[in-house]
Amino acid sequence: MSSAASDGGRTKVAVIGSGNIGTDLMIKVLRLSDRLEMAAMAGIDPESDGLARARRLKVATTHEGVDGLLKTDEFVDVHIVFDATSAGAHRYNHQVLRAAGRTVVDLTPAAIGPYVVPPVNLGEHLGADNVNMVTCGGQATIPVVAAVNAVTPVHYAEIVASISSRSAGPGTRANIDEFTETTSSAIEKVGGATRGKAIIVLNPAEPPLIMRDTVYCLVGGCDDAAVTASVEEMTARVQEYVPGYRLKQKVQFDRVAADDPLRALLPAGAGKEAAKISVFLEVEGAAHYLPAYAGNLDIMTSAALRTAEHMAAHRSCEVAPR
């Protein structure tokens, strides 16, 4: 494989998947990144809008999926591949790309590699050969769970992600079960909650509604001001790469009464200071591909772009001459 990434140049990348996510990601690489260079896009539908846009933007294309990508002249210099297909397709893509020695940033819920949520744990996995970006709901809410958990242990966390049905492509719709399972798992493994639960709502409202996320955390007790400060600081960190990410209102605190059914989700002996913390979020998209209501698209591709840029920088440092 070429060492182009180590000579001061940009790291070449490819995208598999020419749907909403893959197309938005391609546009972001072309418009926003001074670290990555878009080399090729692979899809399976020769008539897809994503492949048509790629051709207009002078990006090499193939409609033969990952196998076709490996046959392109451009692939020899590609270091990082974004997979924006589906959980099922990723299992095969991972095997092919691993054999080819490429690093993969996985935007499907396949969860083969470690979960990565940039402001929480990106630094732990810069050397991995496959990282998983969880889900759009996970990218929006897990930073909040982690922020609360940094102040006080989160015994239970539940997130509800509501997205416009018009922003959910075939891949998203086919992966609803994987979405809930992967997000729930990542709430625990990355967010730090003892137990996690995820719910996704495809909202058919017209005109389309912007992405909204609700995070509920049950804790044994907390310093309200410290939790609020931690959540606000984490929100600012996410806004560094997703400007449309914001709190809809102040963090809410409700004490859990002794006879409240929520007590069943708390450890035995939780005192009268036990509390439910509610955080309400809104994610407005940058409208690089779909309109601004598709914040779910934007937070996923923005997180993947940030992850790949940091991985490229890390690997450039590793091979730089001393």
78 phi/psi in degrees, rounded to 5: -80, 130
168 annotated as ligand-binding: yes
Q: Are residues 108 and 172 in the same domain?
A: no
Taking only the tens place, the pLDDT of each residue in 162-203 is 999 999 888 788 888 889 999 999 999 999 999 999 999 999
Please tell me whether residues 18 and 118 are part of one structural domain. yes
Does residue 124 share a domain with residue 29? yes
pLDDT digits (tens, 9 = 90+) for 237-285: 999 999 999 999 999 999 999 999 999 999 988 888 999 999 999 999 9
Burial 21-33 (b: 16+ CB within 10 A, else e): bbbbbbbbbbeeb
**Do 201 and 234 have their domain in common?**
yes
Q: Which residues are catalytic?
A: 136
Radius of gyration of the chain (CA): 20
**Residues 288 and 140 reside in one and the same domain:** yes
Answer yes or no: is 91 a known binding residue: no
Residues 253 and 216 in one domain: yes
Sequence-separated (6 or more) residues with CB below 8 Å from residue 70: 96, 100
Average pLDDT across the chain, whole number: 94
Output the domain CATH number for residue 9: 3.40.50.720
CA dist 23 and 54 (Å) reads 8
Are 160 and 286 within one domain?
yes
Flag whether 93 is marked binding: no
Query: Is residue 172 marked as binding?
Result: yes
Looking at the structure of the chain, the number of domains it has is 2
Per-residue pLDDT of 115-173, as tens digits, reads 999 999 999 999 999 999 999 999 999 999 999 999 999 999 999 999 999 998 887 88
Question: What's 160's domain CATH number?
Answer: 3.30.360.10
Contact of 196 with 188, CB cutoff 8 Å: yes
Cα–Cα dist 209/203, whole Å: 8
3-state secondary structure of 248: coil
Q: Are residues 180 and 268 in the same domain?
A: yes
Segments forming the whole domain that contains residue 111: 4-133+299-319
* Whether residue 57 is found in the same domain as residue 92: yes
What backbone torsions phi and psi does residue 16 show, to the nearest 5 degrees? -105, 125
Residues 129 and 262 in one domain: no
My answer on whether 165 and 274 are in the same domain is yes
CA distance 180 to 19: 21
Above 80 in pLDDT, residue 3? no
**Does 4 score more than 80 pLDDT?**
no
**Residue 88 shares a structural domain with residue 172:** no
Question: Contact 14/36 with Cβ under 8 angstroms?
Answer: no
Whether the predicted pLDDT of 7 surpasses 70: no
